[in-house]
Structure 1
Amino acid sequence: MTLLAIPFGLVIGLIVGTVGGGGAILALPVLVYVLGEHVTPASTASLIVVALAASVGAGAPARGGNVCWRLAILFSLPAAAGSLLGTILNQEVSGPALILAFVPVMAIAGIMTWRRACSEQAGDELPCPDVPLGKLLVAGGLVGLLTGFFGVGGGFVIVPVLTLWFGMSFRRAVGTSLVIITLTGLAALASHVVTGTTLDVPITAALAGGTMVGALIGSLVGSRLPQRALGQGFALVVGAVAIFLLIDTLALGGPPGS
């Protein structure tokens, strides 16, 4: 199982590095259905995986000036508070209930990603947008809630929010999203650790190592790939996984260990 985690980690990391997030929405199903982890510790492990991948993937955009640092920090503050609430709620629900709640989130993520991919993207030369504080508080808090509750990085929501709601150019949104994912993921992880969640260290380390390598490769080649095709492809993958989780939980007995 430990060796099997590495290739899956590479794929997840490639997604994170190229489209600015979204890998963690696949990390949780991989940990549960492929690697045999229980849902609750898997949500904690996925936070480690995505935070490390995002921190590595953010390097190239940061060096290229495609990170809006002020917005990323202000967005992360309410997200950290939201992640604490999400973590508390995570401890109060069963594995099948968590998976069922995750399905509509994945469906919305797929629709938003497809919509973003089909929309006209602004040029990278645009400056960082001046976003009202109220918008930052609302968006950051909701993303943090999702991060803590589901054990995901929130990039599948952050990038559409940055581009469609904040008016940020795509390249800046990817880089800024990776910084936000790193900060909010670490905050949510701390909340999970404080609440006493345990995890399988060898499997988590193998998956995280694979994602870090994949994220590095993805961040380097992402700017050369057709972003429209990447976004649409990812949206289809998310939709397929959401359908599988729904059928499995309702008709096939649910996630292992639930």
Structure 2
Amino acid sequence: MSLLLGMLMGLVLGLTGAGGSILAVPLLMLGLGWSFAEAAPVALMAVCAAAAFGTAFAWNVTYIRYRAAMLMAAAGALTAPLGLAAAGRMPGETLSLVFAGLLAVVALRLLLQAWRQPAEAAVVRAAVAGNGAEDNGPLCRLHPQTGRLMWTCPCALLISSIGAVTGFLSGLLGVGGGFVIVPALRAATPLSIHSAVATSLMAIALTSAAAVGSALLMGHGVPWRAALPFVGGALLGMVAGRRLAPGLAGPALQAGFAATMLLASAVMAAHALG
């Protein structure tokens, strides 16, 4: 069962690239009857594997801003244990409600993006492509000759802050945080959507790995017999989704995915309150 659930998550991620990994926790909770504490570490493992796969693919076809990704990951590695500690002090029902609220917020944002920015809805994390052309950003700027980000103090502080928020959410809720990184990079840097997505993949892979390591060091148990098939299924589903994405990805598919997220949010909230 965990293999099938992992394949479903990977397929959604490969098709939409719109935060499909955020469905890992509700899939494990609703599909296997796990508690939030049991589902979150396994979800993080799947997120890490899927992001690493996407990074490996994106490395050859688009420009990853690896310095920005590593800075975000370093900040996230510091805050992920704080998120884990906070999660350990919160009741499972409360965590489920917080997650359900986050799921609803992300779903609404995706619906708005599908409506207002249909071109960006066709960009999937499993199949990043493009020339990495940049638009003007408000804070972080590109060097006019080298094309690299100019690392001023405000820019470095902003990038590290994005990573810190992402790491805390990874530890607290078992999510990758692409829904934070991509819009934040787009708003505060000159990066194109393709470059922002590719950079987020590397940051998510490193941050999730740090969060999983912190969870293991803090004594969080992982049901390996179910975790490994789930992670393997996620990778298989992602490969299939990436192959299908060019013909299917777009605003209509993203809107349908967002509706599914809203439904999952409602079910999680009902279970937590019931």
Question: TM-score with structure 2 length normalisation?
Answer: 0.81
Q: How does 1:183-222 map onto structure 2 within 5 Å?
A: 183-222=206-245
Q: How far did 1:196 drift? A: 0.2
Deviates more, 1:138-147 or 1:9-18: 9-18
Matched, 1:161 2:184: yes
Q: What does residue 147 of structure 2 align with?
A: none
Match of 2:49 among 38, 49, 52: 52
Q: Which amino acid aligns with 1:189?
A: V
Find the counterpart in structure 1 of residue 197 from structure 2: 174
Identity of aligned residues (%): 29
Match of 2:133 among 120, 126, 129: 126
1:182-211: per-residue Cα shift (whole Å, max 9, x none)? 111001101111110112111111110000
Q: Amino acid of the residue matched to residue 239 of structure 1?
A: L
Paired letter, 1:53? A
Q: Deviations over 1:65-93 (max 9, x none)?
A: 24222221122221211212101111111
Moved more, 112-121 or 30-39: 112-121
Structure 1 unaligned segments of length 5 or more: list them.
Answer: 252-258
Which of 111, 116, 120 is the equivalent residue of 1:114? 111
Q: Aligned partner of 1:222: which letter?
A: A
CA distance in 2, matches of 1:135, 1:224: 36
Pairwise CA distance, 1:241:
0.8
Quote the offset at 1:41 in angstroms: 2.2
Query: How many residues are paired up?
Result: 248
Distance 2:175 2:3 in 1: 19
Unaligned runs of 5+ in 2: 121-129, 142-154
CA gap 1:227/1:164 in 2 versus in 1, 3 angstroms: farther
Cα–Cα, structure 1 residues 234 and 65, in superposed 2: closer, same or farther, change >3 Å? Answer: same
RMSD of aligned Cα (Å): 2.3
Taking a change above 3 Å as real, the CA distance of residues 226 and 190 of structure 1, as seen in their structure-2 partners, is same
Offset at 1:60? 2.1
Give the drift of 1:116.
Answer: 3.0
- C-alpha distance in 2 between matches for 1:23 and 1:232: 13
- Corresponding position: 1:22 with 2:29: no
Find the aligned partners of 1:218 and 1:181 in 2 and give their Cα distance: 19
Partner residue, 1:254: none
Asked if the contact 2:11/2:237 (under 8 Å) is kept, the reply is: yes
**One of 17, 35, 39 as aligned partner of 2:36:** 39
Which of the two has higher C-alpha Rg? 2
